[in-house]
Chains A and B, each alone.
Chain A
Amino acid sequence: MTALTLAKALNAGLRRALADDDKVVLMGEDIGTLGGVFRVTDGLKAEFGPKRVVDTPLSEAGIVGTAVGLAYRGFRPVVEIQFDGFIYPGFDQIVAQVAKLHYRSRGNVRMPITIRVPFGGGIGAAEHHSESPEAYFAHTAGLRVVACSNPADAYVMIRQAIASDDPVLFFEPKRRYHVKGEVDETASLADARPMGVATTIAAGTDVTLVTYGALVQTARDAAIAAAEDGVSIEVIDLRSLAPVDYATVEASVRRTGRMVITHEAGQQGGVGAELAAAITERCFEFLEAAPVRVTGHDIPYPPAKLERHHLPDLDRILDGVDRVLGRPNSMSGVEA
């Protein structure tokens, strides 16, 4: 075991993938000499050379589109989108091409492309640098969408994403890049928990709290705070947003009877909306209350000085827990 930051764990995972398979190539803006603006690819160009770790021209459509061609040629491109808000120029290539080619070619063409996206806010950044675009991709058939939340998972999941024959949108919680955790660098993929499977972070009996990415830590803190109040929360790190590991969530909700889901992205049409609908359909007779969503507001990401009023934090999550428990809360007395 080694203590690594999430960024360094990803770096180690990428290094391992590059070493294990010479068809793996990294592509992106500033990922070579600079090592990426978050240094996730630090040192990899020096180690593997400019044909494996490729600084690309400044074009997201170019990066994703050429990755498609490389995949046709048998490569396994790992694309870095510098920041969440810059994925949109590459959106067409991702949703119209990457996502559909396996289907359109009747399984003949594989698109083992990993698209790494630092996502989410809380770092006081400028416009377009704090977005949570995951729902666009979760809505797109043909894409797998995952989000890591800690170094150990990051190290394994990035390798699983690269090894997957499907395209994977790989969301990295940028405000957790510098948080350390124990990583087992000898871990073999064969023994690892598949990236599509959720993890129960904390066991509990009263409420199931589901989240992913940066909010996993906040949810864990909320569970600890709630315990002091006599409320037992089970926290699930979803890890995979498409497909969702419903088995884990369902089993938990059947026991607790209550679900809160929290994410930074807006509420409307979000991952939480889908989860709430699916769980209601699957577990209706077990639910004691309607699922509650605690999310970012449905607004463009606000300026840095206001982001704390946008992002769910511990207090807002606990307020959501109070709602699902029918305890006094911010919605008390309001007609649903």
Chain B
Amino acid sequence: MTPSDRDATGLLTKPDDFVQLVTATGERRPHADFDPWVADVDLGALGRLYRDMAIIRRIDAEATALQRQGELGLWPPLAGQEAAQIGSGRALRDDDFIFSSYREHALAWCRGVEPAELLSVWRGSAASGWNPFEHGMAVPQIIIGAQALHATGYAMGAAWEGSDAAAIAYFGDGATSEGDLNEALVFAASFDAPVVFFCQNNQWAISEPVGLQSKQHLARRADGFGMPGVRVDGNDVLAVLAATRIALDRARRGEGPTFIEAVTYRMGPHTTADDPKRYRTDEELAEWSGRDPLARVLALLDASGVDVAGLERDVKSEADRAAAELRAALTTITDPEPLSVFDHVYAEPNSHVDRQREHYARYLAMFDDTDAAASATAEGGVR
């Protein structure tokens, strides 16, 4: 059997082989090391984590629908990964800096990114949606693994300045095969950088099962790089919260990096351009549906005597409102001006770009007051 033939639900993804505080059916499991880190999470706080997850799930579904309706060029859905993202996102301090890839919409939510900022890139209207320094979150990364190095460098800088802020890098299981990611682990360990490597092992890198990237649990790699690795149930928001808090605490105390593997599942396609039916089974999907990160929190709250029906009702109306805001935000995203293609290529004036801008402006002006103006701006410039 070749690695590529290995079943994604084989040894590598055994569900009980990780730290779990809340089971799939909503039972609270005690854990001596982790429990103290979430001792403050009372039923109200747990309800708020549920709220975050439900709203981001709704936003994600709405964005997926917007793509299907032709309003967005593309969307990478996060459904299934709500606990991994909210649990870690809610562990962060405002001055911690996030370096994410393209699927971490929930982190953007935690950081107060506006709906229009979130959508403009996926609509194809802007090269980046928000100012990283306003939200403590870098421009999302599409080049797999590159952000891990950026997070490491940021963390090194923070430490050198005597700050106790940390950086966190989000990436997938596939990313662990890239050189950049591995080089980031080396640098982080060498310099005791206050950085958290947060791997969302969602079992798939487009069509490739995690077993093709790694023969053993990803968290075990950390050891070889000289840092602790922890494997948590990525669908358990409490376990993720605890693991991230522990890692951040280590970072702040100058003890260096931590690698977290959050075991989760991408329920939808890789992006709206992908067809997962070509490479994965309905059974696998059904199995993971039974490990839903939201349902288990509700079950736990229910068993603890919380008015779950009331909570769900409130959260649903909030989520609907968030979805409506998202849709409404589209109308505020205007098509960029043609000459803006030349903006921001350089920070300082550049004679070469200036000349091209001037030339293109003259070119566009030729179409003014003629029918051809329409043709120059028609889709693809075809006439």
Interface residues of chain A, those whose CB is within 8 Å of chain B, are 29-30, 32-35, 37, 50-51, 54-62, 85-86, 88-89, 122, 124-129, 267-268, 297-300, 302-306, 308-311, 313-316, 319, 330-331, 334
- Among A54, A61, A315, the residue within 8 A (CB) of B375 is A315
Q: Which of B92-100, B176-184, B239-247 contacts the other chain?
A: B176-184
The answer to whether A330 touches B278, judged by C-beta atoms less than 8 angstroms apart, is: no
For residue B362, give the distance in angstroms from its CB to the closest CB of chain A: 5
Interface: B309 (CB within 8 A): no
- Among A86, A124, A302, the residue within 8 A (CB) of B73 is A124
For residue A71, give the distance in angstroms from its CB to the closest CB of chain B: 20
Q: Which of B110-118, B124-132, B292-300 contacts the other chain?
A: B124-132
Interface: B213 (CB within 8 A): yes
- Among A32, A55, A56, A330, the residue within 8 A (CB) of B366 is A330
How far does the alpha carbon of A34 sit from the alpha carbon of B4 in the complex, in Å? 12
- Among A122, A304, A330, the residue within 8 A (CB) of B124 is A304
The answer to whether B341 touches A89, judged by C-beta atoms less than 8 angstroms apart, is: no
Given contacts A30-B208, A59-B177, A330-B359, contact A303 B342 (CB under 8 A): no
The answer to whether B125 touches A303, judged by C-beta atoms less than 8 angstroms apart, is: yes
For residue B189, give the distance in angstroms from its CB to the closest CB of chain A: 20
Encode contact with A along B46-63: 1 for CB under 8 Å, 0 otherwise.
000000000000000000
For residue A10, give the distance in angstroms from its CB to the closest CB of chain B: 19
Encode contact with A along B161-180: 1 for CB under 8 Å, 0 otherwise.
00000000000001101111
The answer to whether B360 touches A297, judged by C-beta atoms less than 8 angstroms apart, is: yes
The answer to whether B379 touches A308, judged by C-beta atoms less than 8 angstroms apart, is: yes
The answer to whether A125 touches B73, judged by C-beta atoms less than 8 angstroms apart, is: yes
- List residues of chain B with CB within 8 A of the CB of A35: 278
For residue B51, give the distance in angstroms from its CB to the closest CB of chain A: 30
For residue B298, give the distance in angstroms from its CB to the closest CB of chain A: 35
Best-buried of A55, A86, A124 by chain B (most CB within 10 Å): A55
Best-buried of A51, A302, A319 by chain B (most CB within 10 Å): A302
Closest to A57 in B: B177
For residue B99, give the distance in angstroms from its CB to the closest CB of chain A: 16
- Among A55, A61, A122, A313, the residue within 8 A (CB) of B212 is A55
The answer to whether B278 touches A61, judged by C-beta atoms less than 8 angstroms apart, is: no
Q: Which of B10-18, B25-33, B254-262, B332-340 contacts the other chain?
A: B332-340
Q: Which of B115-154 contact A (CB under 8 A)?
A: 121-127, 142-144
Which 9 pairs between the two chains have the least Cβ-Cβ distance?
Answer: A304-B124, A313-B381, A34-B207, A57-B177, A330-B363, A58-B174, A55-B4, A59-B177, A58-B177
- Among A50, A127, A267, A299, the residue within 8 A (CB) of B2 is A50
Given contacts A125-B73, A303-B121, A330-B366, contact A30 B4 (CB under 8 A): no
- List residues of chain B with CB within 8 A of the CB of A62: 177, 179
Interface: B267 (CB within 8 A): no
- Among A32, A267, A300, A334, the residue within 8 A (CB) of B127 is A300
Contacts A86-B144, A315-B372, A316-B363 known; list 9 others, CB within 8 Å. Answer: A55-B207, A86-B143, A268-B352, A297-B341, A300-B345, A304-B124, A305-B125, A305-B336, A313-B381
Interface: B377 (CB within 8 A): yes
The answer to whether B278 touches A125, judged by C-beta atoms less than 8 angstroms apart, is: no
Interface: B40 (CB within 8 A): no
Interface: B5 (CB within 8 A): yes
Q: How many A-B residue pairs have CB under 8 A?
A: 150
Interface: B356 (CB within 8 A): yes
How far does the alpha carbon of A319 sit from the alpha carbon of B372 in the complex, in Å? 13
The answer to whether A306 touches B340, judged by C-beta atoms less than 8 angstroms apart, is: yes
The answer to whether A308 touches B380, judged by C-beta atoms less than 8 angstroms apart, is: yes
- List residues of chain A with CB within 8 A of the CB of B274: 37
Interface: B376 (CB within 8 A): yes
- List residues of chain B with CB within 8 A of the CB of A305: 123-125, 335-336
- List residues of chain B with CB within 8 A of the CB of A299: 341-342, 345, 353
How far does the alpha carbon of A299 sit from the alpha carbon of B177 in the complex, in Å? 30
- List residues of chain B with CB within 8 A of the CB of A128: 142-143
- List residues of chain A with CB within 8 A of the CB of B313: none
The answer to whether A50 touches B4, judged by C-beta atoms less than 8 angstroms apart, is: yes
How far does the alpha carbon of A127 sit from the alpha carbon of B141 in the complex, in Å? 9
Interface: B382 (CB within 8 A): yes
- List residues of chain A with CB within 8 A of the CB of B273: 37
How far does the alpha carbon of A305 sit from the alpha carbon of B338 in the complex, in Å? 9
Given contacts A330-B362, A331-B359, contact A58 B372 (CB under 8 A): no
Interface: B205 (CB within 8 A): yes
Best-buried of A54, A125, A126, A316 by chain B (most CB within 10 Å): A126
The answer to whether B212 touches A57, judged by C-beta atoms less than 8 angstroms apart, is: yes
How far does the alpha carbon of A58 sit from the alpha carbon of B180 in the complex, in Å? 11
- List residues of chain A with CB within 8 A of the CB of B363: 316, 319, 330
How far does the alpha carbon of A302 sit from the alpha carbon of B338 in the complex, in Å? 10
- List residues of chain B with CB within 8 A of the CB of A297: 341-342, 353, 356, 360
The answer to whether A309 touches B362, judged by C-beta atoms less than 8 angstroms apart, is: no
The answer to whether A334 touches B359, judged by C-beta atoms less than 8 angstroms apart, is: yes
- Among B142, B206, B279, B378, the residue within 8 A (CB) of A126 is B142
- List residues of chain B with CB within 8 A of the CB of A311: 380-381
Q: Which of B62-100 contact A (CB under 8 A)?
A: 73-74
Interface: B383 (CB within 8 A): yes
- List residues of chain B with CB within 8 A of the CB of A310: 341
The answer to whether B207 touches A30, judged by C-beta atoms less than 8 angstroms apart, is: yes
Encode contact with A along B205-227: 1 for CB under 8 Å, 0 otherwise.
11110001100000000000000
- List residues of chain B with CB within 8 A of the CB of A306: 336, 338, 340-341
The answer to whether B124 touches A50, judged by C-beta atoms less than 8 angstroms apart, is: no
For residue B216, give the distance in angstroms from its CB to the closest CB of chain A: 14
How far does the alpha carbon of A331 sit from the alpha carbon of B127 in the complex, in Å? 29
The answer to whether A89 touches B342, judged by C-beta atoms less than 8 angstroms apart, is: no
Given contacts A59-B177, A299-B342, A303-B127, contact A51 B360 (CB under 8 A): no
Closest to B172 in A: A58
How far does the alpha carbon of A93 sit from the alpha carbon of B281 in the complex, in Å? 36
- List residues of chain A with CB within 8 A of the CB of B379: 308
How far does the alpha carbon of A148 sit from the alpha carbon of B123 in the complex, in Å? 30
How far does the alpha carbon of A130 sit from the alpha carbon of B99 in the complex, in Å? 23
For residue A167, give the distance in angstroms from its CB to the closest CB of chain B: 20
